[in-house]
């Protein structure tokens, strides 16, 4: 098991968030006598990046920010930004940074040498993909529907450079949303624990994005105080994967919310296979591991039947819902900000609910986007010659390896 080593402000007027006050080509490489040809240098100087509008519901983050966009333009890139009604940054912020604003969904008809930059999954459509796409796609771990989604690339001659698998020579990811994923997940878990006590039998309500960490903490503390008054004590929280970026975010949130009883587990504590009684002894379990290989489950339905179970909230930050090796095999539903929790059927006294939102950092979209994009920037600056950059080249090789696993008929390029 490999635990995730993921990372660690005002909102745009183009988005609607009731919590806040707003402030208004993939080139080829030509080598000639040890030097790049003048033709290639010219091509590299005009590499075009096209930032697409996100279509995932309640996804407000962005892989590029106005700050990183300006730095890319200063480095010689042309950056086109699709107008977006939901992105946390206002369109005008990108325009002021020097980007060209273009219509939503215009990436589909962009020339094939334009590099498409996004964040979350593309819409589930049928047409082949002809571009290089830089995005999270979630198709490399045999997730549900992965073959159909991945096959769109070889069918159109396109390439996926998956943001989840951009790593340096030592295997460490160059950028990740882990800190804010863990931070946000723990926040919702604490609020859900309190909600169960103050509103028994009622589903946890929809949540919306916050302008910053401090505003989120205010709400968490308020809810937690009400829950503590009902329970007569503070909750115990167990975080597995506590030493990684994601786990450190979860621990940080719990500490800032005033929770002292935090059980921090990582590889040493999980070297013996589960299920683990320590999980059911806690009130809240936050799962922050990076699932890279099959592992025994951390808990199962049998382990949840123990007398005196305290566990009432699971936040599966990893959200490997459709992964056949999900180490929390007691739920099968990915939750959303509109419906944050799903109950584990058949359990009462206390009831048990699961949070499995797969884009938790969008609870803090501006801060998480700024942190991620700043970390990603040095790698983005090498996109003009990506085939000769080690990080991008490894991502391309992984893509080719995964395509090779597709049925032969799904690997064929369409005429």
Encoded tokens for 390: 């080690």
pLDDT score of 22: 30
| pLDDT (mean) for 216-224 | 98
377 is in an annotated binding site: no
**CA 383, CA 77: separation in Å to the nearest integer?**
9
pLDDT band at residue 194 using 50, 70 and 90 as cut-offs: very high
Whose tokens are 């950056």? That residue is 79
Q: What percent of the chain has pLDDT over 70?
A: 89
Does residue 26 have a pLDDT over 50? Answer: no
pLDDT score of 415: 74
3-class state of residue 116 by DSSP? strand
pLDDT band at residue 109 using 50, 70 and 90 as cut-offs: very high
Where is pLDDT greater, at 388 or 10?
388
| pLDDT (mean) for 234-245 | 98
For residue 338, the surrounding DSSP H or E stretch is none
| pLDDT (mean) for 176-199 | 98
301 is in an annotated binding site: no
- Kindly report, residue by residue over 282-320, the tens digit of the pLDDT: 999 999 998 878 899 999 999 999 999 999 999 999 888
120 catalytic, yes or no?
Answer: yes
The half-sphere exposure of 401 on its side-chain side, counting CA atoms within 13 A, is: 11
Q: Which residue in 120, 133, 234, 384 is the catalytic one?
A: 120
**CA 352, CA 326: separation in Å to the nearest integer?**
18
DSSP letter, residue 155: H
Check for a shared fold between 2-175+364-410 and 178-363.
yes
360 is in an annotated binding site: yes
Q: 235, 283 in Cβ contact below 8 A?
A: yes
357 is in an annotated binding site: yes
- Kindly report, residue by residue over 30-87, the tens digit of the pLDDT: 333 333 333 333 344 489 999 999 999 889 999 999 999 999 999 999 999 999 999 9
Q: What percent of the chain has pLDDT over 90?
A: 82
Question: Which CATH superfamily groups domain 178-363?
Answer: NAD(P)-binding Rossmann-like Domain (3.40.50.720)
Domain residue spans of the chain: 2-175+364-410, 178-363
**CA 378, CA 55: separation in Å to the nearest integer?**
26
270 is in an annotated binding site: yes
Closest CA to 293 of 270, 315, 310: 270
Rounded to an integer, what is the distance from CA 387 to the centroid of its chain?
25
Q: Which residue in 138, 180, 384, 402 is the catalytic one?
A: 138
Say how many C-beta atoms besides its own lie within 10 A of residue 159's C-beta.
23
- Kindly report, residue by residue over 150-174, the tens digit of the pLDDT: 999 999 999 999 999 999 999 999 9
180 catalytic, yes or no?
Answer: no
144 is in an annotated binding site: no
Fold of 2-175+364-410: Rossmann fold (3.40.50)
Rounded to whole angstroms, what are the CA distances from 361 to 59, 119, 120, 145, 268?
9, 12, 12, 24, 27
- In this structure, the strands spanning 78-82 and 100-102 are parallel
């Amino acid at each position: 098991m490999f635990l995730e080593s993921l990372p660690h402000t005002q909102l745009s007027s183009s988005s609607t968030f009731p919590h806040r006050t707003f402030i208004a080509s993939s080139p080829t490489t030509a080598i000639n006598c040890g030097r790049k040809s003048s033709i290639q240098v010219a091509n590299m100087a005009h590499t075009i990046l096209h930032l697409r509008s996100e279509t995932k519901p309640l996804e407000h983050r962005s892989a590029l920010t106005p700050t990183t966009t300006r730095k890319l333009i200063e480095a010689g890139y042309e950056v086109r930004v699709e107008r977006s009604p939901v992105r946390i940054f206002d369109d005008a912020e990108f325009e002021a940074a020097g980007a060209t604003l273009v219509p939503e969904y215009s990436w589909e008809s962009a020339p094939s040498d334009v590099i498409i930059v996004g964040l979350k999954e593309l819409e589930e459509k049928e047409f082949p993909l002809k571009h290089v796409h830089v995005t999270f796609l979630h198709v490399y771990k045999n997730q549900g529907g992965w073959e159909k989604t991945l096959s769109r690339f070889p069918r159109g001659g396109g390439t996926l450079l998956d943001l989840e698998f951009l790593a340096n020579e030592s295997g460490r990811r160059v950028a990740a949303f882990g800190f804010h994923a863990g931070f946000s997940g723990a926040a919702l878990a604490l609020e859900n624990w309190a909600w169960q006590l103050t509103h028994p039998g009622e589903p946890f309500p929809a949540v919306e994005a916050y302008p910053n960490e401090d505003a989120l903490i205010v709400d968490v503390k308020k809810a937690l105080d009400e829950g503590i008054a009902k329970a007569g004590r503070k909750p115990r929280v167990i975080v597995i994967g506590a030493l990684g970026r994601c786990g450190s975010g979860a621990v940080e949130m719990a500490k800032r919310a005033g929770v002292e009883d935090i059980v921090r587990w990582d590889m040493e504590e999980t070297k013996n296979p589960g299920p683990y009684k320590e999980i059911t002894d806690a009130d809240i379990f936050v799962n922050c591991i990076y699932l890279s290989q099959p592992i025994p489950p951390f808990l199962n339905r049998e382990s949840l039947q123990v007398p005196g179970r305290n566990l009432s909230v699971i936040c599966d930050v990893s959200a490997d819902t459709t992964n056949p090796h999900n180490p929390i095999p007691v739920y099968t539903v990915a939750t959303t900000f509109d419906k944050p929790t799903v109950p584990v059927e058949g359990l009462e006294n206390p009831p048990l609910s699961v949070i499995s939102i797969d884009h938790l950092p969008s609870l803090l979209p501006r801060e998480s986007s700024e942190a991620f994009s700043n970390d990603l920037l040095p790698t983005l600056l090498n996109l003009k010659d990506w085939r000769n950059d080690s990080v991008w080249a490894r991502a391309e090789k992984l893509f080719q390896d995964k395509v090779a696993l597709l049925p032969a008929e799904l690997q064929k390029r369409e005429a």
